[in-house]
């Protein structure tokens, strides 16, 4: 089995995000993929995640013009299409200063 770098584009998600993955080549129109992935983005000062779990169907296959060894796949979810969800940001780490050190002073 021959694996090549692949751009996977999510056709049914807002903004059509993409990610890179090594997949067997060539993939055919109508093939199904089982994916588990998590994408993160910053949107309007919020952190959002997109969880991909389940089966996806290939709706378009192309090859990159610059790198002929890279395929571009557009996929759609077989069930409910995934959507971006807001997640909580962790607390900001506040840097703490260490104790001040000064030479001892002699008081007379």
The label of the residue with tokens 């807001």 reads 86
pLDDT at 50: 92
- What are the extents of the domains in the chain? 3-83
pLDDT at 104 over 70: yes
Q: Which pTM was predicted?
A: 0.71
pLDDT at 75: 94
The model's pLDDT over 7-21, given as tens digits with 9 standing for 90+, comes to 899 999 988 999 998
Geometric angle at alpha carbon 49, from 45 and 54, rounded to 5°: 165
Range ranked top by mean pLDDT from 33-42, 66-75, 98-107: 33-42
Sign of CA dihedral 68, 2, 9, 78: positive
The model's pLDDT over 43-98, given as tens digits with 9 standing for 90+, comes to 888 899 999 999 999 999 988 777 667 889 999 999 888 989 998 876 777 778 77
pLDDT at 28 over 70: yes
Residue 53 vs residues 12, 62, 79: alpha-carbon distances, Å: 14, 24, 10
């Amino acid at each position: 089995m021959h694996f090549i770098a692949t751009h996977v584009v999510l056709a049914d998600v807002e903004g059509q995000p993409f990610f890179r993955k090594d997949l067997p080549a060539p993939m055919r129109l109508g093939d199904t993929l089982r994916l588990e992935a998590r994408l993160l983005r910053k949107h309007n000062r919020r952190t959002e995640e997109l969880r991909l779990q389940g089966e996806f169907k290939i709706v378009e296959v192309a090859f990159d013009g610059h790198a002929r060894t890279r395929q571009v796949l557009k996929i759609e979810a077989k069930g409910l299409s995934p959507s971006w969800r807001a997640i909580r940001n962790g607390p900001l780490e506040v840097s703490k200063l260490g104790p001040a050190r000064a030479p001892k002073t002699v008081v007379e």
